[in-house]
Amino acid sequence: MTKILFLCHGNICRSPMAEYVMKDLAKGREDIYIESKAVSAEEIGNPIYPPAAATLKKHNIPFASHRARQIKKEDYNNFDYIIVMEEYNLPRLFKIIGSDPDGKVYKLLDFTPISGDIEDPWYSGNFEKVFEQITLGCKGLLNKI
């Protein structure tokens, strides 16, 4: 079983969007397990941010009741891929997990022909662009698996 953990700052916008986009793309694949969490503790317990949920609904991506959670050190050993949305997430991630001796940590756009970061729609308000980038990254990751 391939286990994937998507991470963003608060686990209310990008990482839950990635979780549910990937679950939709991998529908029927019993060999893939997907979760999302945060690198910060700021939003723990909060639901998906309403504009992120609206974007998923607009694209007919099913999602469940979601509450933000923070990554824990032991998660490193429980997942095969730990996928962050942007460079800014990496220092916070490594503060929690330490190092990446097994090469599990990637940025989502690493699986696409473009590189860089997925912008934070909390600040930009551009949930549609973020959805497109996340979908592209998830498709690339699924192809790699």
Please identify every residue annotated as catalytic.
8, 14, 120
C-alpha span between 103 and 24 (Å, rounded)? 26
C-alpha span between 19 and 17 (Å, rounded)? 5
Exposed/middle/buried for residue 93 (C-beta within 10 Å: 0-12, 13-18, 19+): buried
C-alpha span between 19 and 38 (Å, rounded)? 12
